[in-house]
Amino acid sequence: MTNPFQTLSYEPALESLGNEFFDIVQPATFPQHILHFRNDALLPVLGLKSEAASNRHFIEFFGRFQGTQSCLALRYHGHQFGQYNPYLGDGRGFLYGQVRGVDGHLYDFGTKGSGTTPHSHAKDGRLSLKGAVREALAGEILHYLGVPTSRCLSLIETGEDLQRDDEPSPARSAVMVRQSRSHIRFGTFERLDYYDRPDLIKALLDFAIACYYPELWKEPNPYPLFYTELVKRVAQLVGRWMAIGFCHGVLNTDNMSIVGEGFDYGPYAFIETYNPYFTAASFDRLGRYSYRNQPNACRWNLEMLQRPLSKVMPLSEMAAILESFPEFYTQAYEGMLLKKLGFLTLPPSSARDLVGTTLEFLLITRINYHQFFDALKQKFSKHWYHNSTHIVEDLSPLVSGEQQSILKNWCEFYHWILGKHTLEEIEQIEQQLWAYNPTVTVANSAIEIIWEAIDRENDWQPFNSFLQRLRHPNPKNE
Ligand code: AMP
Ligand code: MG
């Protein structure tokens, strides 16, 4: 029987741009192929039914790479921790086909851990199993929390022993395939500028707009519109990360997608308390990508992108567009935070006050960021509408004795906001709380526990049950 992944609607999209953009490479051959995760939720958009794809199909296609697609190691550079690095590129992965989804969008299959390429620079081209598990979890968590992201389609353990500086070694190996909207990075454009190729910058930009922003392609001058839309999407992306307490860890320009989707999750982490200085990557000693610096880092990356794009459109125009970043960001951040607090909309001044009061409360009390929202969701009741003492009583276990008065202030404010709604609306607030706050604990310790079970006992049950619970965020309505 033909492998159903072989018969998808592939398009030679990026390949059609010519070989200036990639190197054709050979996948590694592995001693073992154990499929640990297949993301069936991603199959419908590809036009596939779960039953049509067996585990063997996954392994043949995404572990042995027995497809007819070319393996394109993409060329890119980037600014890493502020320094330009021309020695980047797909060093352990390749673009393995672009598929037209049933929704009309183009999707990339991008591998990670699939062998060396001309960009590996003495590294092994491999991915550790822990790295694969962590990236798979990040994609699913972010997706189910409503944040645009690449997602893991397939995770296969490959039976090699890896030497790693940041993990106990030998470490188990894996190859994963991520499905994403695009693998074109800000750094893909930066590289073309480094080689002084305005012709290729224009070709790539035209391609990106036609492919990923088709509605803008019809406009008489799509370039500034593209930059505006990208600024907006990136601001929204980082606004949502901030609201859910996500810290990407390595916001280099080579990890920034041209469609404003998050991807490439290495040392990411979730904040525990509302600590603006929290950093996810141990090697980020100066805190360049700390939690609070993420919006600025993304804004800076958008500024770096202006250099190559200035070969196609005026720099001053882009600079003016970027001025709107803070506004887009604040809108997205506050909007998401309000949803986590139960509100789809509030009058602007109440919204600002509630966000401000809540952040101050979280900062001073240092209570667990996720537990706070979880408690709000779990304990919320109609009684809260009538009397703020019910709120205080329900939430008081969250804080210590001396912090009760700070809690009381916050509860009174929340009660005042509730009082501006009708009883009917109170029910909707409860529903928002359940819809926008995860049922699973998204703490680093939870991810570590999942990994430890795999590491020590090869027990994948915690991993699978976590994903299962993540997909059903609202047990109250079940
Ligand atoms: P990352 O930190 O994963 O975004 O990777 C930064 C750069 O290092 C990219 O060019 C990667 O392809 C490359 N790289 C990271 N790990 C490896 C590895 N084990 N083998 C080859 N290249 C790697
Ligand atoms: Mg990267």
Regarding whether 96 and 61 lie in a shared domain, the answer is yes
Ligand 1 atom nearest the C-alpha of 89 is 10
Regarding whether 386 and 352 lie in a shared domain, the answer is yes
Q: Are 43 and 49 in contact (CB under 8 A)?
A: yes
Regarding whether 284 and 395 lie in a shared domain, the answer is no
% of the chain at pLDDT higher than 70: 99
Residue 91 binned pLDDT confidence (cut-offs 50, 70, 90): very high
Question: What 3-state class would DSSP assign to 270?
Answer: strand
Burial of 372 (0-12, 13-18, 19+ CB in 10 A): buried
- Number of Cβ atoms within 10 Å of the Cβ of 1: 7
- Number of Cβ atoms within 10 Å of the Cβ of 383: 12
Q: Are 213 and 224 in contact (CB under 8 A)?
A: no
Question: Mutate which of 83, 84, 95, 120 to test ligand 1's pocket (most atoms within 8 Å of Cβ)?
Answer: 120
Tell me: pLDDT of 478 over 50: no
| C-alpha to C-alpha distance for 343 and 430, rounded to whole angstroms | 9
Mean pLDDT, the chain, integer: 96
Tell me: pLDDT of 1 over 90: no
Predicted confidence at residue 474, as pLDDT, reads: 60
Which secondary structure element, helix H or strand E, spans residue 427, and what is its range?
Answer: helix 423-436
| C-alpha to C-alpha distance for 438 and 426, rounded to whole angstroms | 20
Q: Are 89 and 107 in contact (CB under 8 A)?
A: no
Ligand approaching nearest to the C-alpha of 90: 1
Ligand 1 atom nearest the C-alpha of 88 is 10
Regarding whether 356 and 243 lie in a shared domain, the answer is no
Nearest CA residue ID for atom 6, ligand 1? 88
Residues with Cβ within 8 Å of 89's Cβ and at least 6 positions away in sequence, in order, are: 23, 73, 74, 75, 76, 77, 117, 118, 119
Ligand approaching nearest to the C-alpha of 93: 1
Query: Residue 414 is part of which domain span?
Result: 341-436
Question: Mutate which of 92, 117, 252 to test ligand 1's pocket (most atoms within 8 Å of Cβ)?
Answer: 92
| C-alpha to C-alpha distance for 207 and 201, rounded to whole angstroms | 10
% of the chain at pLDDT higher than 90: 96
Ligand approaching nearest to the C-alpha of 127: 1
Nearest CA residue ID for atom 14, ligand 1? 91
How far does residue 245's CA lie from ligand 1's centre (Å)?
A: 26
Tell me: pLDDT of 180 over 50: yes
Regarding whether 321 and 216 lie in a shared domain, the answer is yes
How far does residue 90's CA lie from ligand 1's centre (Å)?
A: 7
- Where is the domain boundary, 165, 183, 201? 183
| Number of compact structural domains in the chain | 4
| C-alpha to C-alpha distance for 50 and 103, rounded to whole angstroms | 18
Question: What 3-state class would DSSP assign to 91?
Answer: coil
How far does residue 227's CA lie from ligand 1's centre (Å)?
A: 28
Q: Are 40 and 95 in contact (CB under 8 A)?
A: no
Residue 441 binned pLDDT confidence (cut-offs 50, 70, 90): confident
Predicted confidence at residue 476, as pLDDT, reads: 56
Regarding whether 138 and 43 lie in a shared domain, the answer is yes
Nearest CA residue ID for atom 13, ligand 1? 91
- Where is the domain boundary, 151, 183, 215? 183
Ligand 1 atom nearest the C-alpha of 126 is 19
Regarding whether 253 and 205 lie in a shared domain, the answer is yes
Predicted confidence at residue 471, as pLDDT, reads: 87
Regarding whether 140 and 44 lie in a shared domain, the answer is yes
Nearest CA residue ID for atom 23, ligand 1? 91
| C-alpha to C-alpha distance for 33 and 357, rounded to whole angstroms | 52
How far does residue 91's CA lie from ligand 1's centre (Å)?
A: 5
Regarding whether 149 and 191 lie in a shared domain, the answer is no
| C-alpha to C-alpha distance for 142 and 336, rounded to whole angstroms | 13
Ligand approaching nearest to the C-alpha of 73: 1
Express each pLDDT in 454-472 by its tens digit: 999 999 999 999 999 998 7
* Residue with tokens 């790295």, as numbered in its chain: 131
- Vertex 40, ends 37 and 44: CA angle to 5°? 155
Regarding whether 297 and 166 lie in a shared domain, the answer is no
Measuring from each residue's beta carbon to the nearest atom of ligand 1, which residues come in under 6 Å? Answer: 88-92, 119-120, 123-126, 250, 255, 264, 266
Regarding whether 314 and 215 lie in a shared domain, the answer is yes
Question: Mutate which of 123, 188, 248, 256 to test ligand 1's pocket (most atoms within 8 Å of Cβ)?
Answer: 123
Tell me: pLDDT of 477 over 60: no
Express each pLDDT in 238-271 by its tens digit: 999 999 999 999 999 999 999 999 999 999 999 9
One-letter amino acid at 194 equals Y
Regarding whether 271 and 146 lie in a shared domain, the answer is no
Q: Name residue 185's beta-bridge partners.
A: 257
Which secondary structure element, helix H or strand E, spans residue 249, and what is its range?
Answer: none
Residue 68 binned pLDDT confidence (cut-offs 50, 70, 90): confident
How far does residue 293's CA lie from ligand 2's centre (Å)?
A: 19
User: How large is the average pLDDT for residues 405-422?
Assistant: 96
- Where is the domain boundary, 160, 183, 206? 183
Handedness of CA 15, 21, 25, 28 (dihedral sign): negative
Ligand 1 atom nearest the C-alpha of 116 is 21
Residue 473 binned pLDDT confidence (cut-offs 50, 70, 90): low
Express each pLDDT in 350-398 by its tens digit: 999 999 999 999 999 999 999 999 999 999 999 999 999 999 999 999 9
How far does residue 172's CA lie from ligand 2's centre (Å)?
A: 20
Express each pLDDT in 103-153 by its tens digit: 999 999 999 999 999 999 999 999 999 999 999 999 999 999 999 999 999
Active site members:
254
